[in-house]
Structure 1
Amino acid sequence: MAAVVRWWRAGPLGLLVLLVLRGARAEQTEEHLKREHSLTKPYQGVGSSSSSLWDLMGNAMVTTQYVRLTPDMQSKQGAVWNRVPCYLRDWEMQVHFKIHGQGKKNLNGDGFAIWYTKDRMQPGPVFGSKDHFLGLGVFVDTYPNEEKQQEAQKRRYAPGNQRVFPYISAMVNNGSLTYDHDRDGRPTELGGCTAMVRNLNHDTFLVIRYVKRRLTIMIDIDGKHEWRDCIDMPGVHLPRGYFFGTSSVTGDLSDNHDIISLKLYQLTVERSPEEEKRDKEVFLPVVDNMKLPGVEAPLEPMSGLALFLIVFFSLVALVFAIVIGVIVYNKWQEQSRKRFY
């Protein structure tokens, strides 16, 4: 999926490239824009109308060109949340955003998050939204908390372990995990990548794609109209019926965090019978081969032969125990009669 040109931003040549690439893929998908889950200009009624599909929270504000989650001011937080739960099985969320402000280098913060969670409109410490959430969080983090703390304590990162900020990461939470701000979410992240997204003169995009239990995140931030891989994680189980939203927060440092559009596409994907069985409905967010507190890995269903053998040997053991019991009881009775004689 890397370097795939989006037709709506790349013109006729991009459309031709996209068609050729899709024709070469064994797995075909169709895309359909879902307006009830999309936020686009001119943002009519957002946050101010009972008929609006989106709610504003905190310091978020709407203009004709963008929805500003937080202004370039200290100690602000804001969010925009979709009112309609999403029941799509496979989907793609394209985020057109802009982060800019007066701060230089790392003197800016703190970033924003894109959410697909059970609860909505819940303010909190994780980029302006609640901790211990149920669902998926994708974080565009512009301030390296861990690095600054380690510098203050005169520590060094292990070789090859340093991350360059701004940094994009993702987290799946079953409600029991805490986002670790001091370590920039490192203990619970599914993966991540560096993304230099501040104060750019061209458009910046992020896409979250969820297909067949695979979570893929790509970015287009270089002004080249092509996607670059960031995160690719199979075995991600997300329940349906959750809400999309995005939130931001500033502290002592700040930035303007602007959302220009959120476009959700329904993906129609062919599945084999095995894939249909594997991709059954789930009721709690979980990631295969990752242990989340409070959630046990689901047991594989037993085959018919295994179940038969268990029942058969259990019956044999029961019969054997009964026979042994009868023999012991008869011996005991014989010994009792001999004592009376």
Structure 2
Amino acid sequence: MTNSSLLEKLRGMTVVVADTGDIQAIEKYKPRDATTNPSLITAAAQMPQYQDIVDGTLAQARKTCGASAPVTQVVKLAADRLAISFGLKILEIVPGRVSTEVDARLSFDTTGTIAKAREIIAQYEAKGISRNRILIKIAATWEGIQAAAVLEKEGIHCNLTLLFGFHQAVACADAGVTLISPFVGRILDWYKKDTGRDSYPPAEDPGVLSVTSIFNYYKKFGYRTEVMGASFRNIGEIIELAGCDLLTIAPALLSELQSMQGDLPRRLDAGRAAQQQIDKIALDKAAFERMHAADRMASEKLAEGIAGFVAALEKLEQILAARAQA
């Protein structure tokens, strides 16, 4: 490993996941898993090389709805299924799992989230894909976390996303979710804007510190929920989280890691975490809501993230509508 890239060294201690809907990028970097979200799927749907996937999904939606169905009905079904179409292609490449997101408009609807997640799993299983290869992505609202608790008991594994606050992480672990995705870069973005600072040293990066504290808490108390750092802004953040259970990294940063050599010490270690003095937190809905209201960063970034994913879905529906009527 002496002359290997930082990417290879990272893979020696952390599961590397591709944060993209770009199938060609996934083929290039060969991650174990891949994650998608509405913004990534909308971006991929506009790439010329994936128009066959878009057109095939539209054609299947039209067939399902019937020739006389209004375009709006066809588009709604196609938008629902497009992430699964990309997921199926991705699963032909990665040996592990793909994360597919529930409609962000259901982020505060526990019953609706459960129903949509079951529907997504049923569509994958109809194509011969085991539910063990799918992570259902759900926003880490209180309602989303409760939906995940139900789904996990059914063997439907969940990835709780848009996670910014420690209270969200604790609630996810208590609910027995498979994996969480704390958004390192978006936390940094908020602090830079709030403080007026241009940058933070990687070891003092607020997003890095947040993931480190969550990782240590989980390992201290033996939670099985995995921590997957996400939304990176720079290589320094990734280096500081070497040893995290998983890291989901965009293609540009994967390329940078692949081109770099040097030492990569393990920063996060379960054994060291177990020796730390950490207090356990008791959390119910009222405590969660109090902590969320008190955490200005988490409150603002969660609301902003949900709004952004909803906007991406609406843009995707507009793209599909234009294509369906072309």
TM-score by length of 1: 0.27
TM-score by length of 2: 0.28
State which structure, 1 or 2, has the greater radius of gyration over its C-alpha atoms.
Answer: 1
Name the structure where strand makes up a greater proportion of residues: 1
Higher relative contact order (CA 8 A, sep 6+): 1
